[in-house]
A and B are shown apart, each in its own frame.
Chain A
Amino acid sequence: MRQRVLTIALAALVGFGLAQSGTLELAVDQSPAGLDPHIVTAFSSFQIIGQVYDGLLEINADLQLEPALATGYSVSPDGLTYTFELRDGVTFHNGRPFTAADVVYTYERVVDVDTGSPQASRFAQVASVEAIDDLTVVFELAEPFAPFLANLPNLPIVAEEVVEEHGDLQQVMVGTGPFMLSEIVPDTYTLLVANPDYYRAGEPGVAALRYNVVPEASTRAAGLRTGAYHLIPDVDPATAQTLGGVPGISMLSVQELSYSLIGMNASRPPFDDARVRRALNLAIDRDELVEAVYFGQAVPGGPLSPGLTDWALPVDEYSCYTPDAAAARALLAEAGYPDGIDFEIVTLGTLRVVVDAAQVVQAQLADAGFRATVSVEELGAFVQRWRNSDFDAFASLNGGNIDPDGYLDRTFRTGGSTNVFLYSNPAVDTLLTAGQRAVDFSTRQGIYADLQRALACDGPVAHLAYATLFTAYRDEVSGFVQTPTRSLRYLRNVTLN
């Protein structure tokens, strides 16, 4: 009799286990460089942090905000007070219930100078955060700030007692997310196991996630073929072509938010003259560049990614995007350079796409009287020159944000934190402030349309192309949703057959 009870209990356990079974094997290029969600900057770290921690809100595959730890929120009419209702019954991986006090603590930790968090500046407009009761938290802003909600997914909620115990969170992870950290073997793999108490019923769909660290793209592809790996989250266009026709392997693709660009130094000749910057835009043939550099797997774009369908203007709105070498020469002559211009494009050797783009642009510019030399720099030297605005022009890759303010404000405002171009345009500054203060969506749309028109041709950045992001996976995998932000949040929906 006892035997039978045990058997039934075991069967029940096994039956329950079936809902979450198997280990999803991923192949990624790097080990996480630290795990503290408020300190790290490496993409390899965020791939893992996103499975373990939750914010109040999260970004879905359509780039819209969705509830996560908050079930809903209300905004006061003056746009200064945000009240969040929190999800009931959520526990941290250490078993302690999640409450409003954790949100307050997390905010305080992020803005504390001693933490040194790169996210701190995103919450500069917040005046106070207060827990009204266990499940209600109120953010008071000092002034209306429309991008506020879009920054909340970048505020992963952490537990104070864990920080107290370990000093920081670089080697320990206790969140509320679908997976829990089990083991890190440096340069080999990171293993996450399913959180049995996760608040979304039935998720995650697999018992464990293993991030295998495989630096070579061709090795990742070989491992996917043999079945050693189930899913490669980030496949370059060349590898995507070779994996495309392989039976048993499927491919997803989506328009990325990150883009290639030529940045120009607006503080010294020749690019201090808006006519020269416009001439450079006119001399670039973006369609040709997409073919030559991206094998056709990208689209030309302006200051905002075409993936931001609510915000981005179509590129045919920009007059300088129709290549016209003669018009470019005429503009150069008008700006006082009838014999053309000699200048240097600095690039980063470690990014193949960037070096290729710089060379294609160099060739295209030659027809319009721009004589560019391309200097390929090592990372340290490149960052140094970039930071000190010690360049005529540079070629690079940039990430994107879901709110237009996230990229435009820091890049183009006078004195902005990534305005290494030393660009200063009072009209642009006024529009940027208006875009932050306006809470009404259609008003903001109008403001950012004006900003894109102001920046596309005359601004210090010639935006080139937005690449396609590929994900490859085997037929055993179902339920994965790809996002333009490269977030892997939807691994929680994946099941293995």
Chain B
Amino acid sequence: MTSYVVRRLLDLVFVLFGVSVLIFLMLRMIPGDAVLIMLGANTDITPDRVEALRRSLGLHLPLHEQYWQWLTGVFRGDLGRSIWTGRPVLDEILARLPVTLQLTGLALATAIVVSFPIGILSASLRGGTADTVVRILAILGLTLPSFWVGVLMLYFASVYLPLWPTIGYVPFADDPGGNLARMVLPVIAVSLPMIAGLSRILRSSLLDVLSLDYIRTGRAKGLGRRTLLYKHALRNAMIPVVTVIGVQVGYLLSGVVVIEQVFAIPGIGRLVIGAINERNYPLVQGVILIVTAVFVFVNLLVDLAYAWIDPRVEYA
């Protein structure tokens, strides 16, 4: 087990290394001169300014030297400086990361707490009216884009609940109530498609398990329905669900980009959209690196969770 974790952590280092090369090359292979693109349509800029900016970004160096500079910087915890504000990229990211983690964490928790009863209910009432209703709702939840749901909720809240604080963000430490009140709508909007997806997966996975021989044996020796479902079936049905949750974290991280935009929440998504719009390359590089690291790490946790759920899973 320990050697497995160590090996996976080593894998993580290689993945991040590959990602860093990719990010680095991609930004430099964009057709056209990055410096000119960054300066935009402002033609009053002198050639001296262009050259100065090129030097300050280190873009006058050969490619491998540029990469080496950046990489050694990363190991020193220096991701460079934001071009427009001059603030360290790491500070910019660390200021936003807790906000996005809170939003994704709450959305993930909500999705799990809500989808489990729904999935179990529709599996045990398979084919009934409740199952059909749940299926229709699930399809709706999966197909409605979360930004659209977000905009609609925002509109109705502003008309019918004008006193409910819906927009923006206040730190939890400053105002816990205000923080959570503002999280309600975005969390619902982000978690809806996930609730729909997870409950469908759990339902079909449970149904698969319930048709297996050992369940029939259990029923034959007189185990109650509840004991069978919760004690024997559910745990085995969890493996695909956990896999999906791991993948969904990636979806969540991208889903919140749009939702942060709609609800004016100052998270990573807003940061990266702003950075791309402003051609702020050091910032884009830094954000992608950190987000990739989070995603890879979550998937490691998911793999480890298999062992906890199913002791038969061996890590050799």
Contacts and interface: CB of A to CB of B under 8 A. Distances in A.
Contacts of A226: 158, 162-163, 166
A89 interface: no
Contacts of A232: none
Interface residues of B, number: 48
B200 interface: no
B86 A381 contact: no
Nearest to A225: B158
A261 interface: no
A216 B46 CA distance: 35
B211 interface: no
A383 B46 contact: no
B5 interface: no
B265 to A, nearest CB: 8
Given A216-B261, A218-B154, A384-B31, A33 B84 contact: yes
Interface in A102-155: 113-114, 116, 118-121
B36 A384 contact: yes
Nearest to B162: A226
B266 A186 contact: yes
Interface in B141-180: 151, 154-155, 157-159, 162-163, 165-169
A483 interface: no
Given A380-B37, A386-B41, A387-B36, A216 B86 contact: no
B46 A120 contact: yes
A118 B30 contact: no
Contacts, number: 119
A53 B158 CA distance: 36
Interface stretch (A207-215, A299-307, A309-317, A329-337): A207-215
A83 to B, nearest CB: 28
B70 interface: no
Given A186-B85, A227-B162, A228-B165, A215 B261 contact: yes
Contacts of B54: none
Contacts of B45: 116, 118
B155 A188 contact: no
Given A170-B85, A187-B96, A225-B158, A118 B42 contact: yes
Interface in A350-385: 350, 379-381, 383-384
Interface string B68-93: 00000000000000001111000010
11 contacts: A186-B95, A187-B274, A212-B168, A212-B264, A216-B151, A222-B154, A222-B158, A379-B279, A380-B30, A384-B31, A384-B36
Given A212-B264, A215-B264, 14 more contacts: A33-B84, A34-B86, A113-B46, A168-B86, A170-B86, A214-B168, A226-B163, A226-B166, A228-B168, A384-B32, A384-B37, A387-B36, A387-B43, A417-B43
Interface of B: 30-33, 36-37, 40-46, 48-49, 52, 84-87, 92, 95-96, 151, 154-155, 157-159, 162-163, 165-169, 261-264, 266, 270-271, 273-274, 277-279
